[in-house]
Amino acid sequence: MAKKKINTTPLVDPIKAALVKTTGVLLKSSKDVDEQLGELLLDVQQTNVYGDGKTFVDLVPLSRLKSIKEEYALLKADPDFDLRDFVTRHFYDATEGVYQRAYESSPDHTPLEHIDELWKFLERRNRVGRGSLLALPHTYIVPGGRFNEQFYWDTYFIMLGLASTGKWKTIEGMMKNYAHQIRKYGYIPTANRSYLLSRSQPPFFSHMVRLLAYKKGKSVLREYLPYLTAEYRFWMRGRTKLANSEHHAFRRVAQMPDGSILNRYYDNKATPRPESLREDIETAEQSGRKDSSRLYLHLRAAAESGWDFSSRWFMDLLDIRTIHTADIIPVDLNALLYHLELTIADGYKASFNLVKSRQYRQKAKARQKALNEYSWDETTGFYKDYNFHHGTHTSVDSLAGVFPLLVGAASQEQADRVAEVIRKDFLKPGGLVTTNIENGQQWDSPNGWAPLQWAAIEGLRNYGHDDLAEEIARRWVELNEKVYASSQKFVEKYNVESDDGLGGGGEYVLQDGFGWTNGVYEALKRNYRP
């Protein structure tokens, strides 16, 4: 078929011809794992056959699922039936013998040498989908441990490390994977797993585009403009339905009292997460809520935030059963969408469409105004999440409050006050603590996370607080190196207040690998700044 010629006259938007035509609705062929496995999934997860619920949903069936489920229905009533044995006979781990072996670092390797070798170990390629794993056309880097997929926001921080050593081919491959997913699904899912297709993650795609443009120039902005606008449509879908919606919110958009539009984390489903089915059902049963579907929605929305889980989302800061994520306007999400709007504006400018460029710059300006109106707490001098149901800030100070600095949405005075709070309330011996609430959740005290260290460091640098930024970087790097010296590992999260430095809490054991820790450490160590 002959390709359509694109009219490039000034009167016609040349980007329109390349715009991705998506509905944002999942393809009918993309069934979730719970729909595919039915009762078998429920029984395996409820009886805790595997210590980690993600293990089972990542397995690949050895034959047609219909046949497996039929056999299961016949055999399960047998008093001698062994569920673990049944699963072992009918499913296999596609990573076993290939990616599952433990990486053994040479004791002679420096941390940077270790990471350079580790990137090869964390590299994956699957052009054909298997089980819940969705096919991607290009090579990608996984976080490590239980995470054998290309995770959305992890990838940006992995890219920082790759960029610091010139691994641009790998970066471009991962970018093309995201372009592929946007073409297919209308957005970037949490990761390339069928059970993660109902939600996205913090939208760092525009940061990835900027990173690549830093290397290759403005042509990158033009190339990825259709995909940037498609992602924007995903996050903004439902604006026309706000007036008639409960609390003036629909999917991922919410209308504020002054008429402005801000965003929230959400999920297109309101059922237990297949990978954490047992935990979600237990939380629902213990909560006493009559409408468990609402609780599941809040749990899933928190998973889309990447902060699963944190006191940010709880009414009772110590109790996950009071989670209400979808009632909250998150400061980090709206800061990232501000960055997306500005990047789209620059993409249109690079495409010589100044009308569209001005439109998106105006959208960004309106969001910046609303962000400062509803997220800035003048009393404490810090950015906070906003509960639009109650019309008040939430009570938790978290490192999400640095994101307006990361994207340049704060004034100098606001940034100065944020820096004061960071130094006084968040700076610990090993870097920055996520919150000052200790409740057993992994996105709370005493844990520190690499992406939040980076966001704070870069945000502070943007506003001239270089000394504080360097102090945070030094403490974080030293903590990473301390743990590496004792364990030969880089881990997912760190205890920034303890002697051993190992993070904890949450739904699963501490993971090593670890993609975004490697990337941020490498970028900081090599003084790389995009």
Q: List active site positions.
A: 308, 492
Q: Which residues are bridge partners to 512 per DSSP? A: 491
Nearest to 146, CA basis, from 62, 84, 35, 56: 56
Token digits of residue 270? 């309101």
Residue 162 CB neighbours (<10 A) = 22
Q: Which residues are bridge partners to 147 per DSSP? A: 144
Contact (CB, 8 A) for 159 and 518: no
Half-sphere exposure of 366 (CA within 13 A, CB side): 15
Residue 391 CB neighbours (<10 A) = 10
Contacts for 113 with CB less than 8 Å, ≥ 6 apart: 106
Characterize 421-456 residue by residue with b for buried, 16 or more Cβ atoms within 10 angstroms of its Cβ, and e for exposed. bbbeebbbebbbbbbebbbebbbbbbbbbbbbbbbb
Residue 72, classed as helix, strand or coil, is helix
For residue 309, is the peptide bond before it cis, meaning its omega torsion is within 30 degrees of 0? yes
* CA 445/CA 349 separation, integer angstroms: 43
Nearest to 160, CA basis, from 210, 217, 108, 231: 210
Nearest to 388, CA basis, from 316, 331, 434: 331
Nearest to 458, CA basis, from 421, 404, 414: 404
* CA 514/CA 493 separation, integer angstroms: 9
